Amino acid sequence: MTQVTMIVNGDSRTASVPPETTLLMLLREHFNLTGAKLGCDVGDCGACTVIVDGKPVNACLMLAVQAEGRSVLTIEGLATQNELHPIQKAFEDQASLQCGFCGPGVILSAKALLDNIPDPSKQEIRDALSGNLCRCTGYTKMIEAIQESARVLRGGSADQAV
Amino acid sequence: MRAFEYVVARDSAQAMALLAEHGSSVKILAGGTDLLVELKSASHGPQVIVDISRAEDMKKISLTGEGLSIGALATHSEIMDSQLIRDMFPALVDAAHTIGAVQTRNLGTLGGNLVTCVPSMDSGPTLIALEALVTIAGAEGRRQMPLTDFFVGPRKTILKPTELLVDIIIPKKNLGKPVHFLKSGLRKGQALALVNVAASLWVDKNTFLEPRIALGAVAPVVMRATQAEAYLAGRAVTPEAMMEAGRIAAGEARPITDFRASAEYRRDLIAVLTKRALENAVLLAQAKLKGVKK
């Protein structure tokens, strides 16, 4: 067993896990943060996407021990008790998800994009989502929601949209 | 995943010591995008994993006396974000951009892409077209060789179990050499190349000087199209010459038919992509010449 300590959604968390535990399994099984999903488990589908030190990564392709000392953001860290994050709000408003399995990963990919590029082009959004597979709704409404939340996050009014 | 012992190497020297200590029971973990997939499906795995992903001395991207040095642990994202590389070799940025998707580019490393050595690797052709060298650290010290000699076969490099790929060097003589990379896959994201091509060249008095063409996914390892290069060298820069070079390159490649594409289709792609990569490299070269004249 190896002891790992990291910041998860702003709080310091410690666990003792076998070295072969992935970051995804640590989050889901040990920290009970089940927002990040186990999809393909080989880094293709993006359902396990979390943000580590500001960068979106596949949690299924990282060992838990590799996150030692790092800062991890999962979907559970976005909303507050009272309010959804603007990206989550836009996804809800625009009905951008159907089954929702890909949602946490998609929204975190969008968060990482908007943190770096506040006003992304459609192509930049598509590129940012190329590692997140959605097999039901499609991407059109996701892209619209990301454009909408980008406007809100830049301080524009949501009503000007559409 | 099967159980293993996990150790962290803080720098390349420590990694070398751990490799010497544990010998062939070791696997090196860099970006993990290939290794973890392999470990999850393997019936028997390594006893020890040496995690080099925090070895800072193997991440640097810098100009040295030898040329442009890219640490083996530079991630594809770091290559895309490097101002030095963006200014000097946008083709390396383009190539990195076609690998996997954002998440895997944030984890995966250049060295890992080369060491895994799949024939369709996207980082290979541009580096080969720029005659890149690799530095390998071993028990007897360091040695350098052309990247073309590093590749031995599909998923096989010249590395011994106790050796480490340290950095990749684009030699000084090729700094600023016009180069262009193109890839054709079935989709833009998360797709292996059907064919990828890089072409580098200088243009001197409207003739091709030192043309280099590298092809990926169409032979057991990334290959140079030496017959097409020989055809172009010293020849006048014309659309016909570039089209003929594409045809020659398609002839000397050894593509296979698989579920992604037929060998015939891949040959057609090689001809077209080689021509286009040459045309784009020529445009870069001509722009450079104009810049000098001003």
Q: Is A143 on the interface with B (CB under 8 A)?
A: no
From start to end of B217-268, where are the E strands?
223-224
A131 conformational bin, left if phi > 0, alpha if psi -120 to 50, beta if neither: alpha
Residues of chain A with CATH 1.10.150.120: 86-156
Residues of chain A with CATH 3.10.20.30: 2-76
Instruction: For the sheet with B179-185, list strands across it.
Output: B179-185, B193-204, B207-216, B223-224
Inter-residue contact B85 to B110 (CB < 8 Å): no
| CA dist., res. B58 & res. B72, Å (int) | 6
What pLDDT shows up at residue B294? Answer: 54
B6 → closest Cβ in A19, A44, A128: A19
Quick check: A63 and B53 CB within 8 A? Answer: no
Q: Does domain B5-51 have CATH number 3.40.50.300?
A: no
Q: Report DSSP state, residue A9.
A: T
Domain boundaries, chain B: 5-51, 56-174, 179-286
> Three-state secondary structure along B1-44?
CCCCEEEECCCHHHHHHHHHHHHHHEEEECCCCCHHHHHHHCCC
Give B-chain residues touching A130 at CB under 8 angstroms: 101-102, 188-190
Q: Chain B closest CA to A10's CA: distance in Å?
A: 21
What pLDDT shows up at residue B290? Answer: 87
Read off the tokens for B107: 């984890």
Q: Is A50 on the interface with B (CB under 8 A)?
A: no
Q: Report DSSP state, residue B250.
A: H
What pLDDT shows up at residue A161? Answer: 44
What pLDDT shows up at residue B181? Answer: 98
Distance set, CA A117 to CA A153, B7, B80, B90, B219 (Å): 11, 37, 15, 20, 39
Q: Report DSSP state, residue B176.
A: T
Quick check: A19 and B5 CB within 8 A? Answer: yes
Quick check: A20 and B77 CB within 8 A? Answer: no
Q: Is A38 on the interface with B (CB under 8 A)?
A: no
Q: What is the DSSP string of A95-154?
A: T--SS-TTHHHHHHHHHHHHHH-SS--HHHHHHHTTT---SSS-SHHHHHHHHHHHHHHT
Distance set, CA B11 to CA A94, A147, B17, B18, B60 (Å): 48, 42, 10, 11, 12
Mutate to test the interface with B, among A17, A45, A61, A113 (most CBs of B within 10 A): A61
Minimal Cα distance from A41: which residue of B? B37
How many contacts, defined by CB atoms under 8 Å, are there between A and B?
84
Average pLDDT, chain A: 95
A43 → closest Cβ in B1, B49, B104: B104
What top-level class would CATH report for the domain A86-156? mainly alpha
Q: Is the pLDDT of residue A112 over 70?
A: yes
Q: What is the tens place of the pLDDT at every residue in B22-47?
A: 988 899 999 999 999 999 998 888 89
CATH number listed for the domain at residues A2-76: 3.10.20.30
pLDDT band at A162 (very low <50, low <70, confident <90, very high): very low
Q: Which CATH architecture has domain B56-174?
A: 2-Layer Sandwich (3.30)
B100 → closest Cβ in A56, A63, A131: A131
| CA dist., res. A30 & res. A42, Å (int) | 21
What pLDDT shows up at residue A45? Answer: 97
Minimal Cα distance from A110: which residue of B? B102
Helix (H) or strand (E) holding B147, with range, is helix B147-150
**Range A95-115 average pLDDT:** 97
Quick check: B102 and A20 CB within 8 A? Answer: no
| CA dist., res. A58 & res. B101, Å (int) | 10
Q: Is the pLDDT of residue A33 over 90?
A: yes
Give B-chain residues touching A127 at CB under 8 angstroms: 102, 188-189
Q: Does domain B179-286 have CATH number 3.30.390.50?
A: yes
Q: Chain A closest CA to B53's CA: distance in Å?
A: 8
Pick from B141, B164, B3, B198: nearest CA to B71: B164
Q: Is the pLDDT of residue A160 over 70?
A: no
Q: Chain B closest CA to A49's CA: distance in Å?
A: 7
Distance set, CA B187 to CA A119, B14, B101, B152, B183 (Å): 25, 41, 12, 29, 10
For residue A112, the tally of other CB atoms under 10 A from its CB is 22
Residue numbers of chain B with a pLDDT score lower than 70? 293-294
What pLDDT shows up at residue A158? Answer: 54
What pLDDT shows up at residue A156? Answer: 73
What pLDDT shows up at residue B24? Answer: 81
| CA dist., res. A119 & res. A151, Å (int) | 8
Read off the tokens for B93: 């940025």
| Helix, coil or strand: residue B170 | strand
**Range A100-118 average pLDDT:** 98
Q: Report DSSP state, residue B101.
A: -
Using DSSP bridges, classify how beta strands A2-8 and A71-73 pair: parallel, antiparallel or unpaired: parallel
Read off the tokens for A156: 């524009």
